[in-house]
């Protein structure tokens, strides 16, 4: 792990109630990190034995894990912000403490950085399950793309945003960026869906970027994930982040028509997903309708017609059906 004054990479791991998984997570980094990689762990006042696991690994790997502590639980965004403030690496890679880095990921990343010098690298991922069967393979869970576009190096911000929006994988852990770029954003504290809100600022802060179609992260599919257990509070967090996300994207200079269309469809699909998952809550439904009016003042029917004109007939039909069932079309 890094003993140099300026590590080339900081891997940042927030820890909270992951006693079962954090050891595997940190070992996946330790097993492949060279001396130019620093591993920073933030204890977000975890009440279980997570930090006991971390301390055992610290003893087994002296000087290779740097730990920071929160006096009280502040949430994932606050833990990421704390880690980011302490990071010293040229590039930053966020890793959730129940996920893992796949073997060879760090070496492959270093090769890309040395060859192409990108400010941002997008990687792909696979899903991790306790029981991984044939149906999961057939669903493509061994390799999920984080970007819908061509691999290679580019400076086209609109192409970056279009690929991210159409890929619909906006998580922070598949985006390795310079420390300067990541420090240009701040994760919104106290709410869920924080990754969505920071994407516009991250995109604005990078010039040269690339997508590497390789599986570098193992993402653990858990039954208590945010999307698997949507509540009214989480739904409102999503609406808040979606508004910020859209405003941030539209504020970026030189946005192409294709990127704007991809943004509209991303927002439409998000509302359709909420329509399928929301509990029967009139106040929450009213909040959703208000958000839709803000995002699509011209009306959802107009947006759906535009998507059909583009050839997205099946996509439009699926979204329209979900929205119509909740009486949200206007």
pLDDT at 3: 47
d(CA 235, CA 285) in angstroms, rounded, equals 10
At 222 the pLDDT is 66
pLDDT computed for residue 74 by the predictor: 95
Q: HEC string of the chain?
A: CCCCCCCCEEEEEEECCCCCCHHHHHHHHHCCCCCCEEEEEEECCCCCCHHHHHHHHHHHCCCCEEEEECCCCCCHHHHHHHHHHHCCCCEEEECCCCCEECCCHHHHHHHHHHHHCCCEEEEEEEEECCCCCHHHHHCCCCCECCCCCCCEEECCHHHHHHHHHHHCCCCHHHEEEEHHHHCCCCCCCCCCCHHHHHHHHHHHCCCCEEEEEEEEEEEECCCCCCHHHCCHHHHHHHHHHHHHHHHHHHCCCCCCHHHHHHHHHHHHHHHHHHHHHCCCCHHHHHHHHHHHHHHCCCCHHHHHHHHHHCCCHHHHHHHHHHHHHCCCCC
What pLDDT does residue 141 have? Answer: 84
* Residue ranges, the chain, pLDDT below 70: 1-4, 222-229
pLDDT of residue 225: 52
| 238-288 tens-digit pLDDT | 999 999 999 999 999 999 999 999 999 999 999 999 988 887 788 888 999
The CATH architecture assigned to 9-227 reads Alpha-Beta Complex (3.90)
């Amino acid at each position: 792990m890094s003993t140099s004054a300026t590590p080339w990479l900081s891997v940042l791991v927030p820890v909270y109630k992951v006693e079962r998984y954090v050891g595997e997570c940190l070992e996946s980094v330790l097993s492949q990190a060279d001396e130019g990689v620093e591993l920073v762990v933030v204890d977000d006042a975890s009440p279980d034995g997570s930090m006991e696991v971390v301390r055992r690994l610290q003893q087994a790997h002296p000087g290779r894990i740097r730990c920071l502590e929160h006096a009280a639980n502040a949430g994932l965004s606050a833990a990421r912000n704390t880690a980011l403030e302490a990071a010293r690496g040229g590039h930053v890679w966020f890793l959730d403490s129940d996920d893992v880095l796949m073997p060879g990921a760090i070496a492959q990343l270093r090769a890309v950085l040395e060859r192409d010098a990108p400010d941002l690298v997008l990687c792909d991922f696979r899903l991790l399950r306790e029981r991984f069967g044939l149906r999961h393979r057939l669903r493509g869970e061994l390799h999920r793309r984080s970007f819908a576009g061509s691999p290679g190096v580019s400076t086209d911000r609109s192409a970056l945003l279009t690929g991210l929006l159409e890929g619909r994988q906006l998580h922070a852990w598949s985006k390795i960026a310079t420390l300067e770029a990541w420090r240009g954003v701040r994760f919104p504290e106290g709410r869920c869906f924080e990754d969505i809100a920071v994407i516009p600022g991250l995109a604005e802060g990078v010039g040269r970027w690339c997508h590497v179609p390789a599986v570098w992260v193992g993402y653990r599919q858990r039954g208590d994930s945010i999307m698997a257990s949507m509540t009214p509070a989480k739904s409102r967090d999503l609406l808040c982040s979606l508004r910020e996300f859209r405003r941030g994207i539209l504020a970026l200079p030189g946005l192409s028509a294709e990127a704007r269309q991809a943004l509209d469809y991303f927002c439409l699909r998000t509302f359709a997903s909420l329509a399928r998952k929301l509990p029967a809550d009139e106040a929450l439904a009213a909040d959703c309708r208000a958000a839709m009016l803000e995002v699509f003042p011209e009306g959802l029917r107009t947006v759906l017609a535009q998507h059909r004109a583009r050839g997205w007939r099946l996509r439009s039909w699926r979204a329209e059906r979900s929205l119509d069932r909740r009486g949200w079309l206007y």
